[in-house]
Amino acid sequence: MVELLIGKKGNGKTKTLVEKVNTASTVTDGNVVFVCHDMAEIYDIKSTVRMCETSPFDFKSYNDLLHFIEGIISGNFDITNIFVDGIFKIIGSSSLDGAYEFLEALQDLSREYGISFVISMSIDADEAPDYIKELA
């Protein structure tokens, strides 16, 4: 499953995402991963969650992020949930070029490995393409 948390910047997506992360960490038998651009901006995540910061890396595309996520999965087959906060900040662009393919690839990973993905995206729901609205 791939779920998107969408909305304009500042409408509480990160807070909602953190709540989902902490809930998942208490109910799953597997591992929960939280990916964000800068850990200094994130508080209140339970210590059992694996935190992955992307700021040391120079991501330029959704494909770069996809390979990063695949690397996380390859190192731990017990992952049940991956949460990604602020995808546009991570890839350094708010362009949707490549977003559809990225989300399709995550759907494939979800089916193959049984991982649930939740991603926050700062995009107005009224302006989002249908493929994004369907996952929101």
pLDDT at 119: 97
List C-alpha distances in Å: 8 to 46, 79, 99, 110, 131.
26, 29, 18, 26, 17
Provide the residue-wise pLDDT of the chain in tens; the chain has 136 residues. Answer: 999 999 998 888 988 999 999 999 999 999 999 999 987 767 789 989 999 999 999 899 999 999 999 999 998 889 999 999 999 999 999 999 999 999 999 999 999 999 999 999 999 988 899 899 889 8
pLDDT at 41: 64
Do 122 and 7 contact (CB within 8 A), yes or no? yes
Token pair listed for 28: 């799953």
